Structure 1
């Protein structure tokens, strides 16, 4: 029984050891899989870095038009959305009471002027005293001031456009009683737009009055608006370290509107050419960003094979789907743009298709 047990257990252990040996031998001799990838060539590019910012548009002139006097709306001389010129009458308030007061004041003014002229004539013949003439002159000035005040009140009952622009939605109706400061309509001068944005103080040295600025908006995707820096705030915000900047953008076609959010790009001076690759070629990792570089090597059978080698890189700025590589690869290196998930250092690869658009964007090797 002992001999039989030894034979049985020996056979079992021997079979297990033989199986493990064969498994190890199979994996050791198994050919490495070939991963299909797409590639692009790292090239030297004339990189123009930009200072990005987000701003808000406002019209060069914009105001909520309102009256300075209260009264009933007698007439409305505009339509919602109408383009008006400076001085165009928009709303006329009722002036019947003021006109009556003005006619009364003008009659009193005429009487005061007659009294003054009579006193001045009589003074030359010493019929009246100088004090009487001075009193008549003071009364004349009071009446003149009263007439001027009533004329100013009547003028304020006429609400006109303070500048050329486009009106918004009408806010009053005929016969409505309006209070001082109540909005009649919004008026915006769309011929020139201002964009207020902030940049970091470290970029302050790159800004200057008249510097070119590019702007894009969600309302007009793909359209780039060209403008210039108009003003730079002399005070740096001590809490945020940001500097307020204002840029001007011509808006002859009226596409830009006040209140829009805009993305601003201010170009920095161009430097030496830099190495760039498509952004999709970078594998981001906590231990360091890397790219897989495709290199030719000799296989076991003497044939040339392509292998992917992991190269740790230092990244720079990004723009238009490209990223600057400060160190780690050289111009002309072929990098993997897709399929990196299946790769490890030394993996065999086959080029499924190159990406001509990204290759062209990367620039030719110089």
Structure 2
């Protein structure tokens, strides 16, 4: 009996050794250390870069309307024509007065060459001519202003008068906006606003349009915020050559803010949920080594963690679902 027990004792380890599980094939990704970029998104409103309530520079009765609300106009196009009969009569009188003063001056200059008039008489006629010319130019400008024109190329949003109505000087005629360039207004919490600077890139998402984000730049950071919400208005500008973004559309703006300190980052697939929390398995010397971690911010597929990890460690990202601490592993490849 002792001899049989000794034989079994000798052969048993060899049998068990032959039944060991082969190393588990895994894919790994390197643990990184770098500043973490935090994604922040805020909902805002799209407004045109330029918006003008066009006013009449000269009073008059609306004679004609050249464009309707909703139409596109070019800068300088007439929107309305006003009529002002007393102004037209004053212009005709000023034109006649100017022609008379010019004749008087020309005659005085010829007579002065023969000493038929004094130098003072010539200067008086020159003054009267200049006065008449200035009055004529002023009235010509007022008559020209009877055509109310678009201040820039854009879209007519609203008109405020009708044919036959009297419009006073400074009275609003129409509202014109330009959306070749738009601005998105968002309210940013005060704890983040100091981390933004003019010219920072931002991504604009318009759900109504779908598709890829639209590139924008931080154009304005207001110095005064809202006491009730502890937020500050931030304006993001973007080109809109096709006019797809429209005034008052809702938009979501995403900022990417770099954190001042570096963080240990692991690929999101390296995190395994266990009974005691999150675990990362490292591949070291052909073995799986478990490391409990606390997770933080996430960015572009990586997650900031705290735990016993170091830059350059190889974290298992595939094949880690059923790993155990100390289990043999075989690295198939490194994931970039």
TM superposition score normalised by structure 2: 0.65
The answer to whether the aligner puts 1:316 opposite 2:296 as a matched pair is yes
Contact in 2 for aligned 1:194/1:248 (Cα 8 Å): yes
Moved more, 120-129 or 324-333: 324-333
Cα contact 1:67–1:183 (8 A) shared by 2: yes
Q: Give the aligned partner of residue 194 of structure 1.
A: 183
Q: Which has more strand, going by share of residues?
A: 2
Q: Please, which runs of 5 or more residues in structure 2 have no aligned partner?
A: 1-28, 282-291, 310-314, 319-333
Among 239, 242, 265, the residue aligned to 1:250: 239
CA contact (8 A) 2:202 2:254 kept: yes
Deviations 1:235-268 (A, max 9, x none): 8559979776543212123221233443221224
Aligned to 2:95: 106
For residues 308 and 69 of structure 2, the distance between their equivalents in structure 1, rounded to whole angstroms, comes to 62
Q: Give, in angstroms, the shift of residue 76 of structure 1.
A: 0.4
2-side partners of 1:171 and 1:243: how far apart? 34
Measure, in 2, the Cα distance between the counterparts of 1:198 and 1:59.
17
Structure 1 distance, partners of 2:211, 2:308, is 33
Distance 1:329 1:76, change over 3 A: farther
What are the ranges of 5 or more consecutive residues in structure 1 without an aligned counterpart? 1-42, 283-289, 296-310, 335-363
Q: Deviations over 1:150-175 (max 9, x none)?
A: 11111111101111111113322111
Q: Secondary structure at the match of 1:140?
A: helix
| Deviation by residue 1:286-305 (Cα, 9 ceiling, x = unmatched) | xxxx8477x9xxxxxxxxxx
1:158-215 residue CA offsets vs partner (Å, 9 max, x unmatched): 1011111111133221111122333322211111112344655766566452x43201
1:269-325 per-residue CA deviation (whole Å, 9 max, x = no partner) reads 5976734769xx99xxxxxxx8477x9xxxxxxxxxxxxxxx8x74523579x8946
Q: 1:55 offset after TM fit, Å?
A: 4.0
Structure 1 pair 274/215, CA: closer, same or farther in 2 (3 Å)? same
User: Structure 1's 238 and 77: CA in aligned 2 closer, same or farther, altered over 3 A?
Assistant: closer
Partner of 2:118: 129
Q: Which residue of 2 aligns with 1:119?
A: 108
> Residues 168 and 267 from structure 1, CA distance in 2 versus in 1: closer, same or farther, beyond 3 angstroms?
same
Aligned to 1:69: 58
Match of 2:4 in 1: none
Conserved in 1, the CA contact under 8 Å of 2:59 and 2:84?
Answer: no
Instruction: Kindly state the Cα deviation for residue 51 of structure 1 after the two structures are TM-superposed.
Output: 3.8
What is the DSSP-based 3-state SS (H/G/I as helix, E as strand, rest coil) of the residue aligned with 2:174? strand
1:140 to 114, 119, 129: 129
Conserved 8 A contact 1:57-1:194? yes
Provide the rounded CA distance (Å) in 1 between the counterparts of 2:159 and 2:30: 58
Of Structure 1 and Structure 2, which has the larger fraction of its residues in helix?
1
- Cα pair 2:87 2:139 within 8 Å, conserved: yes
Q: What number of residue pairs does the alignment pair up? A: 274
Between 46-55 and 91-100, report the one with greater CA deviation.
46-55
Instruction: Please state how far the C-alpha of 1:232 moved relative to its aligned partner.
Output: 5.0
Contact 1:44 1:273 in 2 (8 A): no
* 1:87 aligned onto 2:89: no
Contact (CA 8 Å) 2:179, 2:246: kept in 1 or not? yes
TM-aligned CA deviation for residue 105 of structure 1: 0.8
Alpha-carbon distance in structure 2 between the residues aligned to 1:244 and 1:264: 13
User: 1:274 maps to what in 2?
Assistant: 265
Report if aligned partners of 1:201, 1:236 keep a CA contact under 8 Å in 2.
Answer: no
Indicate conservation of the 8 Å contact 2:158/2:176, yes or no. no
Given the superposition, is the C-alpha separation of residues 329 and 217 from structure 1 closer, same or farther in structure 2, using an over 3 Å criterion?
farther
Deviation at 1:326, TM superposition (A): 2.7
**What residue is the counterpart of 2:152 in the other structure?**
163
Deviation at 1:78, TM superposition (A): 0.6
Q: Separation in 2 of the partners of 1:183 and 1:155?
A: 17
Work out whether 1:326 is the aligned partner of 2:317: no
**Cα deviation digits, residues 40-95 of structure 1 (max 9, x gap):** xxx98997522444444322222112212221100000122111111111100003
